[in-house]
Amino acid sequence: MKPGFVPGIVAFAAISACLPSSAHDAGADAQALGKVNFEVSCNAAAQREFNLAMALFHSFAWEQIKAPLDRVLEADPKCGMAHWARALASLDNPFVWPGNVSAATLAQGAALMEQARKTGLSTQREKDYVDALAVFFQDTDKLNHRTRAKAMETALGAVAAKYPRDTEATIIYSLVLSANFDPADKQYGNQLRAAKLLEPVFASQPEHPGAAHYLIHSYDYPPLAGQGLPAARRYSKIAPAAPHAQHMPSHIFTRVGAWSDSVAANTASASSDKASGGNALHAHDYMVYAHLQMGQDKAARAVSDKTAAFDKRPDVFAAAYAFAAVPARVALERGNWAEAAKLPLTPAPGAYPWAKYPQAEAANAYARALGAAALRDAPAVEAELARLQALRARAEELKLGYWVEQIGIQESVVRGFAAFKAGQADAGIAGLRQAADREDASEKHVVSPGPLLPAREMLATALLERGDSAGALREFEAVLTKEPNRLRAMAGAALAAERGGDVAKARDYADKVAKQTAQADAGVPGIQLARESVTR
């Protein structure tokens, strides 16, 4: 540790003020990544590059991290923390664990931990950082991902507690704490603990990208989303050079139904992604979802076409999910069942490694199955159900526990919807209700702005078609509690209220739809488009 260093108390120096021009070789504008000072016991040149690497890390700019870490070791060959940072970055996005952590990554991480120790760790604090991360790479043949991730969470928490003024330890611990949440925990224990740690850091270091970024993740849940707006409003300004920083605020905007803000954020994110394109495709999914909620179908289709024709085909889950989900949303949100039933998988199998991402391909199978069910094409429904079952089995093989359940929910929705459309109303509604309860019991994944069609919205639509306007209204309003300003749900609530004789409530929802679709496509009034989406 450098003489006189007190972690977290040293005045933060702007990355722009301390980085050499070679920092631009990393593919990011060093003047626009925020202010990070992660103190290490290395020389001044290595410290500057390490700060840049960690600024990139805090905005999930994985591809750009390698170059500044290489320069750390060029400047100071005894700076072992460079290997620690490389191992940390190799774990990629913790909110996508464990599917993005391969056996090769685990083996490499263990080797990097040893390399960090051999290269040089001059302080007990640095040794503690390495030991805390190392537990994730230990006993990988005996311990499952969840056990190791919780062990790392505990170890990082001990580092943060041991060095209470080292805000970098607090920030990284909070990231892992938030990412290790239980999808079935409706008290949001981990997320709120992380937010409680991050809020004081965000207040004292308002230009720190990690504090703002991880607050957004911690509040990315329906009951908490409003608390994330301050961080969402700031993060894109803190790190304007980072595509992820431009996109991430839209997680909160989506949760609160701020659709024009989401379009703006994701347009900026897609435009700034000059690397592999994974950020751009992820932004496309959120952008399409937001356009559809405002009745801007032409804009949504333009983005969908751009996604299908994307010249880069990043081999990452977020990209795979966007390839499958974007065209599915365009068809399903408007009840265009014939289009949904025939959706191709683009890029085609063989031209893209779909086998690695069964949870992404399932979006295509699900849309096709719903389309076939609406058209009462029983053989096609069975074919897509068989495909969903195979994809669920593949997800089990890859140990993607969360997605095994989500694909199972999709199967249940299809079976219930198909039964309802085939004239088995009671069985169909019962199946849809069961699927809706299962879907509500877990949280959406960070990769998605929301379900392709919420199961409870499908239930509400079936009830409306059956003539149960009171039941339909209850279910549509339940959807809106979880998914504020969702266009189909608002239109459905307006229709249900109207048919049930509640004129005031029908008018209120119709006014909300009209306001939200004020900039809808010319020639089709937004309220008409929204109603047709539900009844088609």
* Contact indicator for 473, 493 with CB cutoff of 8 Å: yes
| 251 vs 286: CA distance, rounded Å | 8
Map residue 349 onto helix, strand or coil: strand
Check pLDDT > 80 for residue 512: yes
The per-residue pLDDT for 27 is: 39
Q: Which of 45, 48, 49, 87 is nearest to 68 (CA)?
A: 49
- Extents of the domains making up the chain: 15-180, 313-453, 456-536
Pair of tokens at residue 352: 């893209």
What pLDDT shows up at residue 457?
98
Task: Give tens-digit pLDDT for 463-493.
Answer: 999 999 999 999 999 999 999 999 999 999 9
Position 391 pLDDT exceeds 90 = yes
Residues 6 or more apart whose CB falls under 8 angstroms from that of 437 comprise none
Q: Is 61 helix (H, G, I), strand (E, B) or coil?
A: coil
Please state, in angstroms and rounded to a whole number, the distance separating the CA atoms of residues 327 and 332: 9
Say yes or no to pLDDT of 522 above 50: yes
* Rounded mean pLDDT, 362-385: 98
Beta bridge partners of 352: 349
Q: Encode pLDDT of 411-440 as tens digits.
A: 999 999 999 999 999 999 999 999 999 999
CA 429 to centroid of chain Cα atoms: 30
Per-residue confidence (pLDDT) for residue 312, from 0 to 100: 83
User: What end-to-end distance do the CA atoms of the chain give, in Å?
Assistant: 67
Helix or strand or coil: residue 352?
strand
pLDDT of residue 393: 98
Phi-psi region of 295 (alpha: psi -120 to 50; beta: other; left: phi over 0): left
**What digits encode the pLDDT tens for the residues 316-368?**
999 999 999 999 999 999 999 999 999 999 999 999 999 999 999 999 999 99
Phi and psi at residue 323, to the nearest 5° = -55, -40
Does the pLDDT value for residue 286 go beyond 80?
Answer: yes
CA distance 346 to 343: 9
Q: Could you give the percent of the chain with pLDDT greater than 90? A: 88
Please indicate whether the domains covering 15-180 and 456-536 agree at the CATH topology level: yes
Q: Name the pLDDT band for 274 (thresholds 50, 70, 90).
A: confident
DSSP secondary structure string for all residues of 161-214: HHSTT-HHHHHHHHHHHHHT--TT-TT-HHHHHHHHHHHHHHHH-TT-HHHHHH
> What is the DSSP-derived secondary structure letter of residue 408?
H
CA dist., res. 526 & res. 520, Å (int): 6
**pLDDT value, residue 278:** 83
Partners of residue 349 on adjacent β-strands: 352
Report the pLDDT value the prediction gives residue 30, as an integer from 0 to 100.
56
Q: Binning pLDDT at 50, 70 and 90, where does residue 5 land?
A: very low
- State the pLDDT at residue 202: 98
| Position 276 pLDDT exceeds 90 | no
Residue 347 is predicted with a pLDDT of 95
What is the per-residue pLDDT for 31?
A: 60
Distances (CA, A) of 197 to 201, 203, 227, 279, 301: 7, 11, 14, 28, 42
Residue 423 in contact with residue 466, Cβ under 8 Å? no
Extract long-range pairs of 271-274: CB within 8 Å, 24+ residues apart: 272/240, 272/241, 272/242, 272/243, 272/246, 273/243, 274/27
The residue that leads in pLDDT, 50 or 29, is: 50
pLDDT, mean of residues 14-30: 39
* CB-based contact 326:291 (threshold 8 Å): no
pTM over 0.75: yes
> Cα separation of 438 and 457, whole Å?
13
What are the residues whose beta carbons fall under 8 Å from the beta carbon of 506, sequence distance 6 or more?
A: 494, 495, 497, 498
- In this structure, are residues 328 and 288 in contact, taking their beta carbons and an 8 Å threshold? no
Mean pLDDT of 113-122: 97
The residue-averaged pLDDT of 499-505 equals 98
Using the 8-state DSSP alphabet, how is residue 502 labeled?
A: -
Q: Return the half-sphere exposure (C-beta side, CA atoms, 13 A cut-off) of residue 383.
A: 11
Q: What is the pLDDT averaged over residues 363-381?
A: 98
Model pLDDT, residue 11: 34
In this prediction, residues 279-283 reach a mean pLDDT of 93
Distance, in Å, from the CA atom of 339 to the CA atom of 368, rounded to the nearest integer, reads: 8
Could you tell me the fold of the domain covering 456-536? 1.25.40
Whether 28 has a pLDDT exceeding 80, the answer reads no
pLDDT per position as a tens digit, 52-95: 999 999 999 988 999 999 999 999 999 999 999 999 999 999 99
Rounded distance between C-alpha atoms, residue 503 and residue 507, angstroms: 6
Q: 159: burial class by Cβ within 10 Å (0-12, 13-18, 19+)?
A: buried
Cα 18 to Cα 443: distance, rounded to the nearest angstrom: 41
Q: How high is the pLDDT of residue 100?
A: 85
pLDDT value for 36: 96
Contacts of 148 (CB under 8 A, 6+ apart): 135, 136, 137, 138, 139, 140
Architecture of domain 15-180: Alpha Horseshoe (1.25)
The answer to whether 333 and 291 are in contact (CB under 8 A) is no
pLDDT tens readout for residues 137-180: 999 999 999 999 999 999 999 999 999 999 999 999 999 999 99
